[in-house]
Amino acid sequence: MDLLNEKVKHSKFGMGTITEQTATVITVEFSEEHGIKRFVYPSAFEAYLELKKASLVKRMDKELKEKHQHEELKRKQELQEEEERREVERLELEKKSTAKKRATTKKTTAKKTTTKKTAAKKPVKAKKEPIDDETLEAAIAEVEAEIAVAEAVAAEAVSATAIPAEAEVTVTEAVPAEPEAEK
C-alpha cells in the first residue's frame, strides 16, 4: 500500500508526514522538535502510528490482518516441520536401538548354543516404548528359536546320560571303611 505523503499521528511525536516507504520501513517527518523518525512497516500501525484517512485505516487493518495470518501460517508450518524432524529422529533412534538389541540377542544366542548347560532364564521386562507388529513378530521368532535350541540341548544332554534298557546293571553293597588306628 502506497502511503507516501500521507498524514499520521504518533502518541508522543504528534502529527507527521510519511516521506519514504520501503517494504519493511517507513520514514515519518514530524515537527522540528522531534525531527525524522523511522518505523517498522506495517507493524508501527499496530501500536505507534495512526493514519488520518479513514479509507487508508481500513486498508491498513486488512493488510495487518493478512500479515498476521501469513505469520501464523508460517509458524504452524515451522512447527509441523520441527515435529516431523523429531519424529524421524525418534524413529531412527528406535531403529538403531532395535538393531543393537537384536545384535546383542544374536551374540547371546550364539554363546548359549556352544555350551551344553541350560541356564534359568531371567524374566523378560516389558518395554516402555511402543513396538510395531513387524518388530514384535521378529522378537517372537527369536524367542521361539532360542527355546527350540534350549530344548534340543536339553534333549541331547538327557540322551547322553541315559542308561540303555538292555544294559546290565550291577549293584554292590557299600561297606564302610574301617577307621585307621590312632598313633
In order of start, what are the domains of the chain with their CATH numbers? 1-52 (2.30.30), 83-161 (no CATH)
Mean pLDDT for the chain overall: 80
Instruction: Give the pLDDT confidence score for residue 183 in this predicted structure.
Output: 45
How far apart CA 18 and CA 45 sit, in angstroms, is 12
Output the nine-digit C-alpha cell for 97.
Answer: 536401538
Instruction: Give the pLDDT confidence score for residue 156 in this predicted structure.
Output: 73
Q: H-helix or E-strand containing 97?
A: helix 54-114
Contact yes or no for 51/63 (Cβ under 8 A): no
Which pLDDT tens digit goes with each residue over 50-82?
A: 999 999 999 999 999 999 999 999 999 999 999
How far apart CA 136 and CA 78 sit, in angstroms, is 34
